[in-house]
């Protein structure tokens, strides 16, 4: 396992609990040592050293990458291309763009190295609940890593699937994240409407807990929301700033390329952009134009 952060580290823990031997590498020596002491993971100080520790006769080496998408993943794949051999398998479980996965597969295939892209969902709860994994790749490679998928998943027979060829795993995960954006936006807007109805003085924590049972909008996301509201309904300590991941943007770009309408997902992404606008220049412009054509008053900016 290369990359022992929140996801990679917990995946090591779950694999070790399932009796699978794991060699782990991370640039942070402290993270490696702690995980090795805690789980019995074999600590490797370098990627090269990790690969050497995987030596076994007639057995392909399986290297699972859990590092940030983009250049960090690219650098790791390039190093693995140099160090792995024919029949070995690289698994990218991060949030890479599906077209990057297709390109990396083509490069590794020249050396006879297999490639699998696994869209991975579950976040910090994956250790306890298992991970939902969407795997793309050749059937024989998927069969080789199947024992790993069965341990990482919520159960051996569910929570993981071979969804298609290389690239499909990250593509399906990309769409998954786009749907996630829309769901989150709908919940947030609904609770904001209820909060603003002063006439009823609604208890949002009670309502979110109510909706968890028998409602058509019950979900794990609602479960997590109810837990948060039970602690703090006003959320005044939380800044109204919502980051967006690359996958949300990629999903919206895909809707444009395919010409498939996805207004909910697209607008949810735009709302995140709006939350990130600390300058508010767009709204300043709107106020100026409104004043110009209609003489409407403008509020002075507070110093």
Any idea which residues carry the catalytic annotation? 173, 180
CA 201/CA 194 separation, integer angstroms: 9
From first CA to last CA, the distance across the chain in angstroms is 51
Asked if residues 89 and 145 have their Cβ atoms less than 8 Å apart, the reply is: yes
C-alpha 68/C-alpha 26 separation (Å) is 12
Nearest to 272 by CA among 179, 182, 173: 182
Distance CA 174, CA 168 (A): 10
286: buried, middle or exposed (CB in 10 Å: 19+, 13-18, 0-12)?
Answer: exposed
Q: Could you give the CA distance from residue 149 to residue 163 in angstroms, rounded to a whole number?
A: 13
d(C-alpha 303, C-alpha 301), whole Å: 6
Tell me how long the chain is. 303
CA atoms of 215 and 72, how far apart (whole Å): 43
Between the alpha carbon of residue 96 and those of residues 5, 42, 117, 224, the distances in Å are 16, 27, 8, 26
């Amino acid at each position: 396992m290369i990359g022992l952060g929140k996801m990679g580290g917990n995946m090591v823990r779950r694999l070790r609990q399932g009796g699978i031997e794991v060699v782990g590498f991370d640039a942070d020596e402290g993270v490696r040592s702690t995980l090795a002491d805690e789980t019995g993971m074999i600590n490797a100080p370098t990627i090269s050293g990790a690969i050497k520790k995987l030596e076994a006769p007639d057995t392909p080496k399986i290297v699972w990458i859990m590092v940030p998408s983009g250049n960090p993943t690219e650098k790791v794949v390039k190093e693995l291309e140099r160090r792995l051999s024919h029949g070995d398998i690289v698994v990218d479980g991060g949030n890479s763009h599906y077209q990057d996965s297709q390109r990396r597969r083509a490069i590794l295939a020249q050396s006879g190295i297999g490639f699998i892209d696994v869209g991975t969902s579950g976040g910090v709860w994956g250790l306890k609940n298992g991970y939902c994994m969407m795997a793309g790749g050749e059937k024989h490679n998927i069969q080789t890593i199947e024992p790993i998928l069965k341990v990482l998943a919520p159960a051996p027979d569910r929570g993981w699937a071979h969804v298609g060829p290389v690239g499909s795993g990250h593509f399906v995960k990309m769409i998954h994240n786009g749907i996630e954006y829309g769901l989150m936006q709908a919940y947030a807007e609904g609770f904001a409407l209820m909060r603003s109805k002063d006439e009823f003085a609604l208890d949002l924590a009670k309502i979110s807990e109510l909706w968890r049972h028998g409602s058509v909008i019950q979900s794990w996301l609602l479960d997590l929301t109810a837990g948060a509201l039970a602690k703090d309904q006003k959320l005044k300590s939380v800044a109204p700033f919502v980051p967006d991941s690359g996958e949300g943007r990629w999903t919206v770009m895909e809707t444009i390329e395919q010409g498939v309408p996805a207004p909910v997902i697209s607008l949810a992404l735009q709302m995140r952009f709006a939350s990130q606008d600390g300058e508010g220049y767009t709204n300043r412009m709107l106020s100026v134009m409104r004043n110009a054509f209609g003489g409407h008053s403008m509020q002075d900016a507070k110093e």
